[in-house]
Structure 1
Amino acid sequence: MLIGTLILGASLVLLPQLYGEGYHAIKENILMANHTLLTTSIAITFLGIILLKPIVTSVTLASGGDGGVFAPSIFIGGFIGLLFAICLNTFFKADVIPLNFMILGMGAMLSASINAPFTALFLTCGIINDYSLFFPILLTCLVAKYTAQYIYPFTVYTYSPKAK
């Protein structure tokens, strides 16, 4: 528990966005998504968040803390979608809407991690309190689910290590 506390404390000092389930950071980014520009510090911060959130979640659970799969998946997916859209706009002048990519990323990551596209669809729409992207989110969630199943057939709920 002490080692977990040290790891979590150091991670939170570096990136306070990792605190808790992450909905506060998601809501903040939803408000600023279309105005976020790619800078070196933004790219490093987003990459750090994307790489450290699974570690922080695992350490929290291993140390006896509360946690789950839904919120971290939505959190990571939102940041990946936002970073992807910002990169498309910066390097390829794609002129995509970063907020939409963030929302699609949230649904896709949750759907891929639990293989439940309709759960991911309705949770994502519930978080943003808007169903205008219902069909794009549905399509993204279905593609994410089947792609994840093709790559690795187990979810966090169905995997069990073989007993010796």
Structure 2
Amino acid sequence: MVEASVTQLRELALAIPRPGCEWEDRPRFDSPTAPEIVAAFERAAGFPLPADFRAFLASTGGVVGMSVHNGYWLGSVDRLSLSDFPQSAGGESVAPVGTDGGGNAFLLSASGRVWRWDHETGSVSQVATTFAGFLERVVADWAAYVADTPGWRFLV
């Protein structure tokens, strides 16, 4: 499921920059995350990472698509500072697994739920029950962006 979503994101990335939008940068996909970096992130987070997020990190260490709507930065856990973001949401410990271009963050809980933290209000809202489900929603956002879908409500 995660691998299929990453494949779809890679395919959608090929459509960026969109015609007439030469200022857009094509999204970047990092190399897989080394096991020792994953282990260090887990220790810092204080909980084992869900299998679907581990699969994402094994497939691509990160996805950076800052030209897609308000920007998506997923993974790249070696560059995320845990102290910059909330440490709990919904009564669970969380760790950042992504940000957007506006300074908001996506937080992953030990149970696998993904939350969106609004840096301006401090509010936290659940966006998916699993990282794989969150990634599917990101794919839908990117597809809507590439197609210029009117009225689409982006995560970011």
Per the shorter chain, which TM-score range? under 0.3
Give the structure with the higher percent helix.
1
TM normalised by structure 1 equals: 0.27
TM normalised by structure 2 equals: 0.28
